[in-house]
Amino acid sequence: MEISATVENQRKKIHPHKYTLWVAIGSILMMFAGLTSAFIVKSNLVGWRDVKMPQIFWFSTVAIILSSVTMHMALRSFRNRERLKYRQFIAITVALGIAFVVMQLAGFSELWNQQHVTLKGVTGAGQFLYVIFGLHGLHVLGGIIALIVMFIRAFFGKSKNYSSVPVEVAATYWHFVDLLWIYLLVFFIVIG
Protein backbone atom coordinates (compact mmCIF):
# COMPACT_ATOMS: atom_id res chain seq x y z
CA MET A 1 0.00 0.00 0.00
CA GLU A 2 2.73 2.45 0.94
CA ILE A 3 4.64 1.87 -2.33
CA SER A 4 1.57 2.55 -4.48
CA ALA A 5 0.89 5.76 -2.52
CA THR A 6 4.48 6.88 -3.18
CA VAL A 7 4.13 6.12 -6.89
CA GLU A 8 0.84 8.02 -7.00
CA ASN A 9 2.43 11.04 -5.27
CA GLN A 10 5.29 11.01 -7.78
CA ARG A 11 2.80 11.05 -10.67
CA LYS A 12 1.07 14.11 -9.23
CA LYS A 13 4.31 16.13 -9.05
CA ILE A 14 5.30 18.27 -11.98
CA HIS A 15 8.42 17.20 -13.85
CA PRO A 16 11.43 19.40 -12.93
CA HIS A 17 11.95 20.46 -16.55
CA LYS A 18 8.33 21.53 -16.85
CA TYR A 19 8.52 23.40 -13.55
CA THR A 20 11.67 25.21 -14.70
CA LEU A 21 9.97 26.12 -17.97
CA TRP A 22 6.96 27.60 -16.16
CA VAL A 23 9.23 29.66 -13.91
CA ALA A 24 11.07 30.92 -17.00
CA ILE A 25 7.79 31.74 -18.75
CA GLY A 26 6.68 33.70 -15.68
CA SER A 27 9.93 35.67 -15.75
CA ILE A 28 9.64 36.38 -19.46
CA LEU A 29 6.04 37.50 -19.04
CA MET A 30 7.06 39.93 -16.30
CA MET A 31 9.83 41.34 -18.49
CA PHE A 32 7.48 41.94 -21.42
CA ALA A 33 4.79 43.34 -19.11
CA GLY A 34 7.34 45.85 -17.82
CA LEU A 35 8.46 46.80 -21.31
CA THR A 36 4.93 47.23 -22.64
CA SER A 37 4.00 49.24 -19.54
CA ALA A 38 6.98 51.52 -20.18
CA PHE A 39 5.79 51.88 -23.76
CA ILE A 40 2.36 53.06 -22.55
CA VAL A 41 3.92 55.61 -20.21
CA LYS A 42 6.36 56.87 -22.84
CA SER A 43 3.65 57.10 -25.55
CA ASN A 44 1.98 59.91 -23.62
CA LEU A 45 4.96 62.23 -24.11
CA VAL A 46 4.82 65.19 -26.47
CA GLY A 47 6.29 64.46 -29.88
CA TRP A 48 5.51 60.74 -29.84
CA ARG A 49 5.65 59.26 -33.32
CA ASP A 50 3.56 56.18 -34.06
CA VAL A 51 4.86 53.44 -36.31
CA LYS A 52 2.93 51.74 -39.11
CA MET A 53 3.42 47.96 -38.93
CA PRO A 54 4.93 46.47 -42.09
CA GLN A 55 2.64 44.14 -44.05
CA ILE A 56 5.15 41.32 -43.75
CA PHE A 57 4.51 41.13 -40.00
CA TRP A 58 1.07 39.70 -40.84
CA PHE A 59 2.68 36.98 -42.95
CA SER A 60 5.14 36.21 -40.17
CA THR A 61 2.17 35.95 -37.80
CA VAL A 62 0.59 33.34 -40.07
CA ALA A 63 3.91 31.46 -40.15
CA ILE A 64 4.26 31.34 -36.36
CA ILE A 65 0.61 30.32 -35.87
CA LEU A 66 1.04 27.51 -38.40
CA SER A 67 4.25 26.47 -36.65
CA SER A 68 2.33 26.19 -33.40
CA VAL A 69 -0.17 23.89 -35.14
CA THR A 70 2.61 21.73 -36.58
CA MET A 71 4.32 21.63 -33.18
CA HIS A 72 1.09 20.33 -31.66
CA MET A 73 0.90 17.69 -34.41
CA ALA A 74 4.53 16.73 -33.75
CA LEU A 75 3.82 16.25 -30.05
CA ARG A 76 0.75 14.17 -30.79
CA SER A 77 2.70 12.05 -33.28
CA PHE A 78 5.49 11.54 -30.76
CA ARG A 79 3.05 10.44 -28.07
CA ASN A 80 1.43 8.03 -30.53
CA ARG A 81 4.90 6.71 -31.46
CA GLU A 82 4.43 7.71 -35.09
CA ARG A 83 8.08 8.47 -35.68
CA LEU A 84 7.81 9.35 -39.38
CA LYS A 85 4.99 11.86 -38.78
CA TYR A 86 6.89 13.29 -35.81
CA ARG A 87 9.95 13.86 -37.98
CA GLN A 88 7.87 15.54 -40.69
CA PHE A 89 6.02 17.83 -38.30
CA ILE A 90 9.13 18.83 -36.35
CA ALA A 91 10.89 19.62 -39.67
CA ILE A 92 7.96 21.77 -40.81
CA THR A 93 7.91 23.54 -37.44
CA VAL A 94 11.62 24.37 -37.73
CA ALA A 95 11.13 25.66 -41.29
CA LEU A 96 8.18 27.83 -40.25
CA GLY A 97 10.13 29.16 -37.25
CA ILE A 98 13.01 30.13 -39.50
CA ALA A 99 10.56 31.70 -41.96
CA PHE A 100 9.11 33.76 -39.10
CA VAL A 101 12.54 35.11 -38.16
CA VAL A 102 13.44 35.89 -41.79
CA MET A 103 10.16 37.77 -42.27
CA GLN A 104 10.74 39.67 -39.01
CA LEU A 105 14.15 40.77 -40.27
CA ALA A 106 12.57 41.89 -43.54
CA GLY A 107 9.95 43.83 -41.59
CA PHE A 108 12.56 45.60 -39.51
CA SER A 109 14.57 46.34 -42.62
CA GLU A 110 11.45 48.00 -44.05
CA LEU A 111 10.94 49.99 -40.85
CA TRP A 112 14.55 51.16 -40.89
CA ASN A 113 14.95 51.91 -44.61
CA GLN A 114 11.48 52.98 -45.78
CA GLN A 115 9.81 54.40 -42.69
CA HIS A 116 13.08 55.69 -41.20
CA VAL A 117 12.30 54.23 -37.79
CA THR A 118 15.69 54.17 -36.11
CA LEU A 119 17.10 54.00 -32.63
CA LYS A 120 17.88 57.73 -32.66
CA GLY A 121 15.66 60.31 -31.04
CA VAL A 122 14.11 60.76 -27.63
CA THR A 123 10.52 59.89 -28.51
CA GLY A 124 8.78 57.42 -30.73
CA ALA A 125 7.74 53.83 -30.80
CA GLY A 126 10.72 52.75 -32.89
CA GLN A 127 13.08 52.24 -29.98
CA PHE A 128 10.48 50.12 -28.20
CA LEU A 129 9.76 48.09 -31.33
CA TYR A 130 13.40 47.16 -31.77
CA VAL A 131 13.90 46.27 -28.12
CA ILE A 132 10.64 44.41 -27.53
CA PHE A 133 10.41 42.62 -30.87
CA GLY A 134 14.15 41.98 -30.77
CA LEU A 135 13.87 40.30 -27.38
CA HIS A 136 10.97 38.24 -28.69
CA GLY A 137 13.09 37.29 -31.69
CA LEU A 138 15.87 36.09 -29.38
CA HIS A 139 13.38 33.90 -27.54
CA VAL A 140 12.14 32.51 -30.86
CA LEU A 141 15.75 31.79 -31.89
CA GLY A 142 16.25 29.90 -28.64
CA GLY A 143 13.15 27.87 -29.44
CA ILE A 144 14.40 27.20 -32.98
CA ILE A 145 17.72 25.94 -31.61
CA ALA A 146 15.82 23.57 -29.29
CA LEU A 147 13.69 22.41 -32.22
CA ILE A 148 16.77 21.82 -34.37
CA VAL A 149 18.26 19.68 -31.60
CA MET A 150 15.01 17.71 -31.43
CA PHE A 151 15.03 17.38 -35.24
CA ILE A 152 18.57 16.00 -35.19
CA ARG A 153 17.69 13.58 -32.39
CA ALA A 154 14.60 12.45 -34.31
CA PHE A 155 16.78 11.34 -37.20
CA PHE A 156 20.07 10.38 -35.58
CA GLY A 157 19.46 9.98 -31.86
CA LYS A 158 19.30 6.63 -30.18
CA SER A 159 17.36 6.66 -26.97
CA LYS A 160 16.67 3.90 -24.49
CA ASN A 161 13.98 6.00 -22.85
CA TYR A 162 10.89 7.05 -24.81
CA SER A 163 9.92 10.05 -22.69
CA SER A 164 7.68 12.71 -24.16
CA VAL A 165 8.80 15.32 -21.59
CA PRO A 166 11.37 17.05 -23.85
CA VAL A 167 8.83 17.33 -26.67
CA GLU A 168 6.17 18.58 -24.23
CA VAL A 169 8.54 21.21 -22.86
CA ALA A 170 9.50 22.37 -26.35
CA ALA A 171 5.86 22.45 -27.45
CA THR A 172 4.81 24.48 -24.42
CA TYR A 173 7.64 26.96 -24.99
CA TRP A 174 6.86 27.21 -28.70
CA HIS A 175 3.17 27.86 -28.06
CA PHE A 176 4.22 30.49 -25.52
CA VAL A 177 6.40 32.44 -27.98
CA ASP A 178 3.55 32.18 -30.49
CA LEU A 179 1.03 33.67 -28.06
CA LEU A 180 3.56 36.27 -26.94
CA TRP A 181 4.03 37.41 -30.53
CA ILE A 182 0.28 37.74 -31.04
CA TYR A 183 0.04 39.77 -27.83
CA LEU A 184 2.89 42.06 -28.90
CA LEU A 185 1.52 42.59 -32.38
CA VAL A 186 -1.97 43.41 -31.13
CA PHE A 187 -0.49 45.62 -28.41
CA PHE A 188 1.49 47.70 -30.91
CA ILE A 189 -1.44 47.93 -33.31
CA VAL A 190 -3.90 49.04 -30.64
CA ILE A 191 -1.62 51.12 -28.39
CA GLY A 192 1.22 52.08 -30.73
pLDDT tens sequence across 45-62: 777 777 778 899 999 999
Is the pLDDT assigned to residue 3 strictly greater than 80?
no
Query: Tell me, what's the pLDDT at 153?
Result: 87
Is the pLDDT assigned to residue 140 strictly greater than 60?
yes
Comparing C-alpha atoms, which of 106, 105, 129 is closest to residue 117? 129
* Interval 146-165 mean pLDDT: 82
Q: Pick the more confident residue, 126 or 73.
A: 73
How many independent structural domains does the chain possess? 1
Query: Tell me, what's the pLDDT at 159?
Result: 64
10: part of which helix (H) or strand (E)? helix 2-12
User: Among positive and negative, which fits the CA dihedral 132, 136, 137, 141?
Assistant: positive
Give me the domain span that covers residue 112.
2-190
d(CA 173, CA 36) in angstroms, rounded, equals: 21
Query: Tell me, what's the pLDDT at 94?
Result: 96
* Interval 160-181 mean pLDDT: 90
Q: What is the largest CA-CA distance in the chain?
A: 71
Q: Pick the more confident residue, 95 or 9.
A: 95
- Residue 82: give its domain's CATH number: 1.20.120.80
Q: Which long-range contacts (CB under 8 A, 24 or more apart) does 75-79 make?
A: 75/164, 75/167, 75/168, 75/171, 78/164, 78/167, 79/164, 79/167
d(CA 69, CA 72) in angstroms, rounded, equals: 5
**Single pTM value for the model:** 0.84
d(CA 83, CA 39) in angstroms, rounded, equals: 45
Query: Tell me, what's the pLDDT at 177?
Result: 96
